[in-house]
Structure formats: C-alpha cells, structure tokens
Amino acid sequence: MPRVILFNKPFGVLSQFTDRGSPTPRQTLSDFIDLPAVYPAGRLDRDSEGLLLLCDDGALQARIADPRYKLPKTYLVQVEGEPDEAALDRLRKGVSLKDGMTRPAKAEIIPDPQLWPRDPPIRVRKSVPDSWLSLTIHEGKNRQVRRMTAAVGHPTLRLVRWSIGDWTLEGIAQGLWTETSVP
C-alpha cells in the first residue's frame, strides 16, 4: 500500500526537502516532516499555503501531479476587489494567459473561510475591499491561479490549496501532517 502524507504547508516554506544555493536559509519540508522516502506529488509555490501531498510511490506521484489525469485542485483565494459575474464567468470559461488558454474552472464567491492567521499577514488597503473565491482547476500551469485572477482584474492576495481530488486539509492544522490512504 502506498504511503500518502497530507501536509498543511505554511506560507514561505519551499515544497522540497533541501534548499540548495540560497544565500539565506529558507524553511523546507525537512523542517516539518521527518519521514524517509516520501516525496512531493506536485508543487505548491513558496508564497502559497495549504495542501501538499507527499508519497512513496512514483506511479501514484505521477497520477496526482500529471494534468492528464485531471485531478481537481480546489483553492481558497483571497482577491483584491469584488469580482462581478463577468469576471467569474471568464474564470469558468477559461482565461487566456501568455502560455495559452486555461481549462474551464469552477469559480464562486464564498464567505471568509476563517483560516489560520498568515505570517506575515497580507497587505490590507482600506480603500480597496477584498473577497474570497473557491476556484477549482484541473491543470497546473506555473502560478496559474494567481495569473488567472490577475487576468480578470482581481490580483490574488492569499492562496490556500484546500483539496486535491478527494484529499482535503480538513482537520489538519498549519505546519502539521497526517498519513492517509489512497481513496
């Protein structure tokens, strides 16, 4: 049975076990996970938070990370401004980015999800409101969610991956991990 680890990655942590070549040390997975032979299945940018899957099975790793398998990834996204129906519709139909068109996404405005505090906190501008979206995509272009929200006029302020397929962050505190099975 493959070993699957669900990790709630904090902001500022690299999605790898070592930090080679950086003049200033940065936090990595090894600061949180001390398990042999598990590796990230996909990536999550240093300035993003939330669910990162790790496993010890190469075939499963590929199935999780490869867009061909269309595993849905749901993000809770705090954006600048208040997206209207036209902006949401563009996300739902696909957004044209420099590296091509994105696949259609599921996008909806949600109430504040009451997450753990981010360290450091996001910048708040009193004159510009912010909103939360739930955005589900089926691919993984570099910084895709951030580029999609910016393309529709609502830059991302905070990005938290909540789920990948049937795996979720439910009940996992920031910086902690749990072991689970393949659904």
Query: How many whole angstroms separate alpha carbon 159 and alpha carbon 145?
Result: 8
Q: What band does 123 get if pLDDT is binned at 50, 70 and 90?
A: confident
Distance of CA 38 to the CA centre of its chain: 19
Q: Is 56 a catalytic residue?
A: no
Whether the predicted pLDDT of 103 surpasses 90: yes
The pTM score is 0.93
Which pLDDT does position 155 carry in this prediction?
96
Please report the domains of the chain, with CATH numbers, ordered by start residue.
Answer: 4-67+166-180 (3.30.70.580), 72-164 (3.30.70.1560)
Mode of pairing for the β-strands spanning 4-9 and 177-180: antiparallel
Per the prediction, the chain carries an average pLDDT of: 92
Tokens for 138? Answer: 């089926």
Query: Residue 82 — pLDDT band, cuts 50, 70, 90?
Result: very high
Dist CA 10 CA 24 (whole Å): 18
In the predicted model, what is the mean pLDDT of residues 150-175? 96
Task: Give the pLDDT of residue 110.
Answer: 98
Average pLDDT over residues 128-148: 92
Which tokens hold the place of 79? 């954006």
What DSSP letter does each residue of 46-102 carry, written as one string? Answer: TT-EEEEEEES-HHHHHHHH-GGG---EEEEEEEES---HHHHHHHHH--EETTEEP
Crossing angle of helices 144-151 and 85-93, rounded to 10°: 140
Strand partners, 77: 133, 159
Average pLDDT over residues 124-136: 92
Q: How confident is the model at residue 124 (pLDDT cuts 50, 70, 90)?
A: confident
Residue from 31, 45, 56, 66 carrying the catalytic annotation: 45
| Residues 6+ away with beta carbon under 8 Å from 110 | 76, 132, 133, 134
